A and B are shown apart, each in its own frame.
Chain A
C-alpha cells in the first residue's frame, strides 16, 4: 500500500470489524463477477476468431452444443447466487443488529447538517466524537427530507427518515478521523452535507466530554421535560392513573384495544406521543391529547430516552456515562 500514491486511493480503509466481513463478501462477489466476465468475453473472442466466416456464402454448421448445457448453466449460477444470498444476509444481520450493550447516541439530519446528542448530554454539529472499542448505536431521524448516514471506512450506512427512527451501529477499532457523507440526495447542498467522525481512546473521549460546558445527561433532561409537560400526572404507574404505567414497558409487548400487539420500541413511543389514539393500549380510554407540534425532534429524543431509562434490566436502557 505504501508505494501507491496517497492522492490516488483505490480502496477505502477499514476501521470496524464489520468492514472486514463486508469486504470479504465483496471480494467474493468481485471474484465471481471477474471469473464469469472473463469466461464470457474469452468465449466470445475465441468463437469469433475460431469460427470466423471465411466465405460470403458460408452458413453455420449443423452441429449444436449439447442440450444438457442448459441445465449446467442454470444450476451452477443458481447455486452461486443462493450462496451469495445466504452469506450476504448473514453479514447484513450482523451489521444491522446492534449488540445489547451498545451506547445510544441520537442523530438528527437536517438540510444540510448533522446534529448529534451524546448520552452525556453533549451536543455537536457535523462532528461526532466517539470512543474506540465501544459499540455505538445511532438512533436517527430527520427534520425535513430523507438523508442517509454513511462512513465508508466503517462500511455502515442507513437512511435517515423524517417522522420515524432508524438505527445503525458500529464499533470503531482504530483511532482516527473518518469522513461522514450524506448518501441520500437531499437538495441543493447535498454534497456538502458531510462531516467527520472522530474516534478516540476512551480516556481521551472522557476528557473531551468534560472539556465542553457542564451537561445534564439526556435522561435527566428527559425527566425534567416529562414533568414540565405533566406526563407524570397520568403515567406514574399508580393504580388509579389514567394512562398505562411506563415503568419497565420498553422492549415489552403491549396489547391494543383491537387485540393486536406490538413491541414497544422508539417508533412506538414516538407515535404514542404524537398520535396517542393511533394504537391505544387495551383497557385505557382515549384521553391523552396529541403532542404534535408541541415537542420538537430533540425534545422527543429526551422523552424517549427517559422512558427507556425506566426500563432497567430489559437490556435497552440508556447507559449514560
Chain B
C-alpha cells in the first residue's frame, strides 16, 4: 500500500493536499465540506446557547426583571429556531455523516460532490436570513409558528425567519438525496446491506425522513408567508382558514424531525458501543430494523401534539396508541446496546462515557415521552415544563451527547490529532451533571403547574427554576471545555495513528487524516461489521489489514 508524500517527505492527506481559502471554499471533498459544516454549526450552536443563557438568567427570578416580555419571547423563539433547524437537524448528518459515510462504505466521495458543497452554501444562506431576522429584532412566534399568531398578530420578522427555515430545508434535502444515492450505489464490492455499519443504517433512515418530511414543512411555511404577506386566509379563521390545519401540517414534519435529530445519534452510539466493548454488536439486524421502523412509525404519530387542540378524542386515541408503538423499537435499541456490553471489554474512554450518558438520558427522555403520549397524563402536562424537560432529555441528553461522543471518537480520524484525555473526561462528566441539574427540576415544575414560554411565573416556582438556571451555568461551562481543547489539539495535540482506538471499520483502515480520495485502494469487503473476535484479533479482513487492536496507540501520556 503506497502512501503519497509531498516534496518534504510528509504524508499527503486531505488537509494538506492543497492550501488556500479557495481550496476550501470550492472544495468538493466530502471531508472538507464536513469540516466547513462543523465550523458553521458550532457558530449557530454558540448563538443558540447564548439565547438559552438569556432565558435561564431571566427565569432565575419570578418577576420579569431582566428583559422585556417581548425580548424574552424573541429569545426562546430564536433559541428554538437556531438549535433545531441550524444545529440539531444538520449536526450529525452534515458533519459526521458527511465525513464518514464514504469512508465507511469504501467510496471515494459522496455521489454528488458539487451538490454537497451547494448544500453547505445553502445552509449558510439560510443561516444568514435567520441572523438577519435576529439583527432586525428577531421573531416572537415560538419555533412552532402557530397560526393565526404568526400570520396575523405577531409584530416580528416572521417572514425573514420563515425564509431562513425554508431555505435550510433545501440544504437538508440535498444532503439526504446525496446520502441515499451514495448508500445505494457507491458501496465497496462485497459490502452488502447487512454488512453495513449501523451508523449507515441510521443515516439511511434519517435521510428517508428528511426526504419525505421536509417538503411538507416547506410548503406549509410558504403558506404562512403568503398569508402574512398578502393577507389571504389559509390558516386564520378570521379570513376563513383553519388554524388547526397548520398544526397538522407543521407536526407532520416536525414530529419526524425529532427522529431526524435522534436517529443519527443512535447510529453513533451503536458504533461507540461496539468499538469500546470490542464486541460484535448484539442484535445487529434488530437495531438496523429498529432505525427503519422508527423512521416509518415516526410519520404516523404527529397528532399526539394536538390531543387538546380540538382534535376528536378518537383521533387522539389512534395517535396515542401509535406513539406507544414507536417506543418499542427505541426500547429494542437500548436493550441491545446494553446486551452488547455484557462480557465485553468495556473501556472508559471519553467517547464511551458519552455513549453511556446517552443511553441513560435517552431512556429518561423516551420514558417521559411515553407518559406524554398517555392521553390521561397529557391533559395535565401538555405544553408545560414537563414537555420542555422531556424534549431536552431527548435532544440535549440524546442527540447532543451522541454528537459529542461521535466527535470525540472520530476527531483523531478527522484531524489526525489526539485531544487531552483528562480534560475530555472531565468535560463529559461536567456536561452530564450540568445537564441533569438543568433539566430534571423542569419535570417537577411542569407537573406542579408551570406552563412553557412563561416570562413571569408565580413565586413558589422559584426554587426549582433557580436550580435549573444554576445547572445551565454548569452545562455552559461543560460545552466550552471541548471547544477549547479541540481547537488546541489541532495544533498541539499528539499525532494520531490510523487506528488509535483499536476499532474495526473501513474508516480505521485508512490514514488519519485520510488521503484525499479516502483509500489508496478500494477494499473488497468479505466480512461482517464489528468482527471483534478474541482468537483472531485481525478479524476476517486480515488480508487487507483490518482492525488490529494490537496496534492500538498508547494514549495515556498525552495529558501534558
Contact = CB atoms under 8 A, between A and B. Distances in A.
A21 interface: yes
A159 B550 contact: no
Interface stretch (B4-12, B88-96, B109-117, B452-460): B452-460
B102 interface: no
B149 A53 contact: no
Interface in B301-315: 307-310, 313
A92 B375 contact: yes
Contact of B376 (A67, A77, A89, A184): A89
Interface stretch (A31-39, A115-123, A131-139, A212-220): A31-39
Contacts of A146: 146, 148-149, 243, 309
Given A51-B341, A59-B532, A186-B149, A29 B73 contact: no
Nearest to B451: A183
Contacts of B324: 81-82, 84-85
Interface residues of B, number: 101
A51 B343 contact: yes
A157 B308 contact: yes
B153 interface: yes
B374 A51 contact: no
Contact of A60 (B277, B317, B348, B376): B277
A182 B345 contact: no
Contact of A89 (B148, B346, B375, B459): B375
Interface stretch (B357-365, B479-487, B508-516): B357-365
A19 to B, nearest CB: 8
Given A37-B364, A74-B328, A81-B327, A91 B308 contact: no
B541 to A, nearest CB: 15
B69 A191 contact: yes
Interface string B420-452: 000000000000000000000000100111011
A44 B73 CA distance: 40
B371 A26 contact: yes
A92 B447 contact: no
Interface in B328-374: 328, 331-332, 334-336, 338-339, 341-348, 356, 359-360, 363-364, 367-368, 370-371, 373-374
B321 A37 contact: no
B283 interface: yes
B313 A93 contact: yes
B286 interface: yes
A179 B320 CA distance: 29
A164 interface: yes
B243 to A, nearest CB: 6
A83 to B, nearest CB: 10
A253 to B, nearest CB: 17
A185 B72 CA distance: 12
A240 B290 CA distance: 66
A7 to B, nearest CB: 6
Contacts of A181: 449, 451
A67 to B, nearest CB: 8
Contacts of B148: 144-146, 162
A183 B379 CA distance: 11
A203 interface: no
B534 interface: yes
Given A60-B279, A85-B374, A162 B237 contact: yes
Nearest to B290: A74
A44 B360 contact: yes
Contacts of A64: 280, 282, 339, 342-343
Contacts of A37: 360, 363-364, 367
A248 B247 CA distance: 36
B185 interface: no
A29 B371 contact: yes
B448 A162 contact: no
A190 B452 CA distance: 10
Given A21-B376, A44-B338, A91-B375, A12 B449 contact: yes
B345 A157 contact: no
Nearest to A48: B346
Contacts of A41: 360, 363
Nearest to A178: B449
A25 interface: yes
Nearest to B142: A185
B69 A156 contact: no
B150 to A, nearest CB: 9
A6 B331 CA distance: 39
B320 A88 contact: yes
Interface string B46-73: 0000000000000000001000011001
B21 interface: no
B149 A187 contact: yes
B380 interface: yes
Contacts of A153: 449
B73 A188 contact: yes
A59 B534 contact: yes
B93 to A, nearest CB: 27
Q: Which of B321, B383, B451 has the most CB of A within 10 A?
A: B451
A152 B449 contact: yes
B38 interface: no
A84 B338 contact: no
Interface string A3-41: 000111111100000000110011001101100110011
Contacts of B444: 10
B320 A89 contact: yes
A207 to B, nearest CB: 29
B292 to A, nearest CB: 15
A69 interface: yes
B209 to A, nearest CB: 22
Contact of B153 (A12, A52, A187): A187
Contact of A162 (B64, B154, B238, B533): B238
A63 B378 CA distance: 43
Contacts of B341: 43-44, 47-48, 51
A150 to B, nearest CB: 7
Interface in A168-223: 179, 181-192
Nearest to A36: B367
B79 interface: no
A56 B308 contact: no
Contacts of A187: 73, 140, 149, 153-154
A92 to B, nearest CB: 4
A58 interface: yes
A44 B359 contact: yes
Contacts of B343: 51, 60-61, 63-64
Contacts of B108: none
Given A73-B335, A89-B317, A187-B73, 5 more contacts: A41-B360, A51-B346, A164-B310, A185-B452, A191-B69
24 contacts: A11-B448, A25-B376, A26-B376, A26-B447, A29-B374, A36-B367, A40-B338, A51-B277, A51-B341, A51-B344, A51-B345, A56-B502, A59-B279, A88-B376, A92-B313, A111-B153, A155-B379, A166-B310, A181-B451, A183-B382, A183-B383, A185-B141, A185-B149, A186-B149
| 4 nearest CB pairs, A to B | A163-B237, A60-B279, A91-B376, A152-B449
Interface of A: 6-12, 21-22, 25-26, 29-30, 32-33, 36-37, 40-41, 43-44, 47-48, 51-54, 56-65, 67, 69-70, 73-74, 77-78, 81-82, 84-85, 87-93, 95-97, 111, 144-146, 148, 150, 152-153, 155-159, 161-164, 166, 179, 181-192
